[in-house]
Amino acid sequence: MSDIEKHKERVGIEVAKRGLVSFMNDTKWLELQRAAVDELPFAPPFQRKDVLQPVLEPARFDTDVWWHGDWREGILPFYSIEWLRIRPRYLKHRGALIAPTIVDCEDVLKSVLERQYIPFVERDYSIIIFGYALQTPS
């Protein structure tokens, strides 16, 4: 059994043990990934919670950030994402003496999610997509 197969099996065992329900599949994750790279004006930053990891990545994500999300490799593997918290905005640097501006793509992101029938929840300037949850997210 390969390391990937072992990891998938451990995720499946943990999902069953915690009574989680799947809300996403590879097709939906791939569409979201493609849209983040090809359709959005920038790749929005995100915080990832994996089924097997108690630690969030990044650990702090409660304010606007200056960086973009790694939607090519940083979102993989899809099957282990418990939830993804997307901040559809970032701080654009304008100079040492000028405050940064907020660049926002929330409306475009919501349009993509609705078009792809990807369920999401809005909280604190973030959009949360559940890979797994105990029940219908609200």
Residue type, 16: A
Q: Are 81 and 50 in contact (CB under 8 A)?
A: yes
Instruction: Give CA angle at 107 (77, 32), nearest 5°.
Output: 20
Distance CA 128, CA 19 (A): 20
Q: Are 101 and 91 in contact (CB under 8 A)?
A: yes
Confidence (pLDDT) at 82: 97
Q: What is the pLDDT along the chain (138 residues), one digit of tens a residue?
A: 899 999 999 999 999 999 999 999 999 999 999 999 999 999 999 999 999 999 898 988 888 889 999 999 999 999 999 999 999 999 998 888 888 999 999 999 999 999 999 999 999 889 999 999 997 655
What pTM, to 2 d.p., does this model score?
A: 0.89
Distance CA 108, CA 96 (A): 30
Distance CA 7, CA 5 (A): 5
Distance CA 62, CA 60 (A): 6
| 60: its two tokens | 């702090």
